[in-house]
Each structure stands twice: as structure tokens, then as C-alpha cells.
Amino acid sequence: MDENKLGAIYMAGAYTLWGFLPIYWKLVQEVSALAILGHRIVWSFVFMAIVVFCLRKWSAFKQEVKKTWGNKRSAITITLASIAISINWLTYIWAVNSDHVVEASLGYYINPLVSILLGMIFFKETFSRPQWLAFAFAAAGVGYMTYHFGSIPWVALLLAFSFGIYGLLKKTAGLNAMFGLTIETLIMTPIAAVYLLSLPVSWSAMDWFSMTAILLFGAGAATAIPLLLFAAGANRIPLSMVGFLQYIAPTIMLFIGVFLYHEPFTNVHLLSFILIWSGLAIYTYSRVKRLKKYEA
């Protein structure tokens, strides 16, 4: 199969799985968001450790860990990245199980524009006119929603900024997806394990073969598999295609929130989303045009 087609399949698979992830967390909504996060961190590390071992990359992984912890700046960066992604995961799990799936989708729609803003702040990147216009549309959408509902859509903004900061730190750390996730979850696993062991006896003595327990243990695979698909796809397709495919996940989330979980989607939501979608369309078009010009 052509590498581009294979890459597109991998990438579309990753974003599709991310899009349907709210259904997974809903199945364990009787568990607190912090407990779900604890399981997600621990079992993600276990799953990734098994993957690294099965791919015979354990020696390379240990060398990467030594290299990372041998450099103070790298150690701080990867630790901050692990905290940022933990905040993102916790916010997302809480949002889904508190009936804020629509707002969560909003967060992942505006995430690319947040990444542009962070790039300008931390890497002194300059905004093109289309990017300024795209950012203005997104800001107008968030502002309109804030004005009419009387509160800032903090879930969406926290998801967008925590993931944007995570991406920024990952770029600075320079780790590949496989080793990066393994090290990040390794850092947070002791904290997560201590928290899980401190929970009431009813949880420590739960039925390990119940559907809830199986789903909690499976949180590691549910977290890692899309990321591995993303890493495999990103190396095979151009960035312009990634730009289009990244909207699969929030679109699926939006439909799930509205049509499956019947969350409210008022005219205010509609106009706010239209403004944000317009900004994203401008951003995506300018990005594709720029990449084609560069490739030519």
C-alpha cells in the first residue's frame, strides 16, 4: 500500500478513536475522575512498558531515561509535560462524566489556534494575517459564548491550553511518541499508585473481573493505541493532511455530546461554533497554501 494512504489510515484511526473516547469514560462514570485518571496513568505505563519490551526497545528506552534524567533541563521539561497531560486527562474525564462533552469538543477545536499563540509567545513566531484573522474569529466565538452564558467556558480553555502547553513542552524535550509517553506515565505512576492505594477499602477490594475493573485496566490501551497510530501516521503523510484530519476527533465528540448524550446545543452554541469553525477554515486554508508553496 502507498505510504501516504497508509499514513492517512493510521492518522484517521487515531483521531477516530480519540473522538469516541467519551463513550469509554462514560462506561466507568460511577468512578471518580481522579480515580479514573490514576488508573489511566498506571495502566498506560504498564501497557507502554510491555510494548517497548515486545518491540525489543527496552535497552534504548533505558538509555533515553538516563539521558533525560542526566540533563536537568530535559528532566524538568518532561516532568512539566507529564503534569500538563495529567491535567488535560483529568479535565477531559471530568468533562465527559459531568455532561460537558460539547464543551470538551470546543476545546479541541480551538487547540490548534492556542498552539499558534504559544508558538508566538515562546518561540517568537510571527502571525500571518490569516492567522490573526483565524485567532480573532475563535476569540469572538469564545467571547460570544461567555457573554451570553455569563461564564467563561473554562473546560474548553483548560483542555486547549493544557494540551497546547503539553505539545510545546514535548517539542522542547524532543522525545519520540513511544518513549515520551512511557517516561511521562513513569513519572506520574508512583503518585497515581499511592492515590489509588489510599482509596476506601471498597475500591481496593473490588471485583477485579467486573466490567468496571476491566475497563479501568483497559484505560492504558485506550490511551496508548491512538497515540501509537498517530506516531505511525505522522511520519508518512504531509502536515497539510494532518491539519485536515485533526478535526475528526472534536467533530465526533460534538455529535456524541449532542445526539447520544443529548447535551444542550443552543443557537448561542451554534453561532459560537460557526465563528470558531470559520477561524479554523481560514487557518487550515492558509496553512495548506503555505505548505504547497514551500513544497513547490
Task: Write out pLDDT tens, residues 181-218.
Answer: 899 999 999 999 999 988 875 554 456 678 888 999 99
What is the structure's pLDDT at 187? 95
Give the mean pLDDT of 225-235: 83
pLDDT of residue 283: 81
Local confidence band at 239 (pLDDT 50, 70, 90 cut-offs): low
Average pLDDT, the chain: 87
- Residues 64, 183: contact at Cβ < 8 Å? yes
Question: 36 is written with which cell numbers?
Answer: 479514573
Q: Could you tell me which residue, 289 or 68, shows the higher pLDDT? A: 68
Residues 6+ apart with CB under 8 A from 207: 213
Q: Which residues contact 13 (CB under 8 A, 6 or more apart)?
A: 226, 229, 233
For residue 282 the three cell numbers come to 481560514
As for how many domains the chain has, the answer is: 1
- Residue 77 confidence (pLDDT): 93
Which cell numbers in the block locate residue 68? 533525560
Please give the pLDDT value at position 202. Answer: 52
- DSSP, res 27: T
Interval 135-190: pLDDT, tens: 888 889 888 888 887 888 999 999 999 998 998 888 887 777 788 889 999 999 99
Instruction: Judge contact between 45 and 185, C-beta under 8 A.
Output: yes
Residue 5 has pLDDT above 80, yes or no: yes
Angle, in degrees to the nearest 10, between helices 101-123 and 154-173 = 40
Q: Is the pLDDT confidence value at 254 over 70?
A: yes
d(CA 271, CA 249): 20
- Does pLDDT of 223 surpass 80? yes
Instruction: Note down the domain range covering 115.
Output: 3-295
- More confident: 258 or 122: 258
Q: Please tell me which residue, 77 or 5, carries the higher pLDDT value.
A: 77
Distance (Å, rounded) from C-alpha 231 to C-alpha 51? 14
Percentage of the chain with pLDDT > 70?
Answer: 92
Q: What is the mean pLDDT of residues 22-29?
A: 95
Q: pLDDT band at 112, cuts 50/70/90?
A: confident
Residue 70 has pLDDT above 80, yes or no: yes
CA-CA distance, 40 to 64, in Å (whole number)? Answer: 23
> Cα–Cα distance between 169 and 245 in angstroms, integer?
23
